[in-house]
Amino acid sequence: MRKDRHKNPADASAHKEVLREDLKKLHAELPSAAKNLDDDLHALLREVANDIEQIVGDEPVEAQSGRERLEKLTVKFEVDHPRLANILGEIADTLGKLGI
């Protein structure tokens, strides 16, 4: 039987703290990566960052669509922006641990 990830508030709280740290890394990496991004990718990356901020802040958000966008961005950034792709991958992993 699979354990429901939302039953233990301590786990959710720990995962949200990891998301907060990953979000800080993402914001730190954005200025250098933004120089080489087209406007559409930059806008999409900002949307994902906003989704993550809403999740961390317990605001309602369409998490599934945000995670799908995050996964697409990770693939697009793997070659040209490996550090950014790594951060996005960590965020996607943490969202999965939260059941999102």
Q: What is the reported pLDDT for 9?
A: 57
Instruction: Determine, yes or no, domain membership for 4.
Output: no
The domain total for the chain is: 1
Q: What is the pLDDT along the chain (100 residues), one digit of tens a residue?
A: 334 444 455 677 888 888 888 888 888 887 877 777 778 777 877 777 777 777 777 655 555 566 777 787 788 888 888 888 888 888 888 888 877 7
pLDDT value of residue 66: 66
Which range marks the domain in which residue 33 is found?
9-97
Q: How many residues does the chain have?
A: 100
Quick check: is 2 in a domain? no
Asked if 64 and 42 count as a contact pair (C-beta separation under 8 A), the reply is no
pTM assigned to the model? 0.68
Predicted pLDDT at 63:
53
Predicted local distance difference test score (pLDDT) of residue 58: 64
What pLDDT score does 91 carry? 86
Give me the residue label for tokens 């950034």.
77
The DSSP 8-state label assigned to residue 7 in this structure reads S
Dihedral through CA 68, CA 39, CA 35, CA 95, nearest 10? -20
Q: How far apart are CA 71 and CA 89, in angstroms?
A: 7
Distance separating alpha carbons of residues 32 and 20, to the nearest angstrom: 20
Which SS3 state, helix, strand or coil, does residue 98 take?
Answer: coil
- Asked if residue 1 is part of any domain, the answer here is no
